Amino acid sequence: MRGRVVALASLLLACGPSGGAGTGGTVAPGEASRGHSTLVGRVGEVLELTLPLLGGGSLELSELRGHPVLLSLDDKGSPDRDRDQDRYRALVEADEDIMVVSVGLDPVVEDLPAGWQDAPPFVLGWDPQGAVAARLGLVALPTVVLLDPQGRIVSVHEGAPPDDASLSTWLGPGNGT
């Protein structure tokens, strides 16, 4: 296990700096405030959610149980979007057990990440009406939610993707990976 975490940490460092904690930061249990999404304060709870897929249809997050899941919600205005998508690709390529679900909230398909045309190794969602964002009460993009293999929220990152330390904690011992 430790070897996997060290290898992933090395890979992430090679991909360049992470976005950091974001304007909202990593939100711990009980820190809910008016400035955060409804996900805040739900750390430890199972996230039940239906996501619209890019090619049509939908995905229940429960279908991914048994895998750690990185759920990313962003749009073309999200800073460093392409770099973040590259980091997620590297995560999946380093450990096939990790599931990344990236949901674009762009109103037109042309605004989705250019890298999506290369069939990235993760699930692609598209929510042009913003229904998922509204349901979760998102207040900042990107918003990234890290789930353990049981579907429980490990951490919520608003305004920037998780930093390397958060990813290492998420993938470390005690989280079922």
pLDDT of residue 117: 86
As a whole number of angstroms, the distance between CA 53 and CA 71 comes to 13
Select the CATH number that applies to the domain covering 2-171 from these four: 3.40.50.150, 3.40.1280.10, 3.40.30.10, 3.30.43.10.
3.40.30.10
Percent of the residues in the chain that have a pLDDT greater than 70, as a whole number: 78
Going by DSSP bridges, is the β-strand pair 143-147/123-126 parallel, antiparallel, or unpaired?
A: unpaired
Mean pLDDT of the chain: 81
* Cα distances (Å, whole numbers) of residue 177 to 149, 169, 174: 7, 11, 7
pLDDT of residue 174: 54
pLDDT of residue 31: 34
pLDDT of residue 37: 82
- pLDDT band for position 9 (50/70/90)? very low
Contact present, 99 and 70 (Cβ < 8 Å): yes
- Per-residue model confidence as pLDDT tens digits over 115-140: 898 889 999 999 999 999 999 999 99
Map out the domains of the chain as residue ranges. Answer: 2-171
The answer to whether residue 161 scores a pLDDT higher than 60 is yes
N residues, the chain: 177
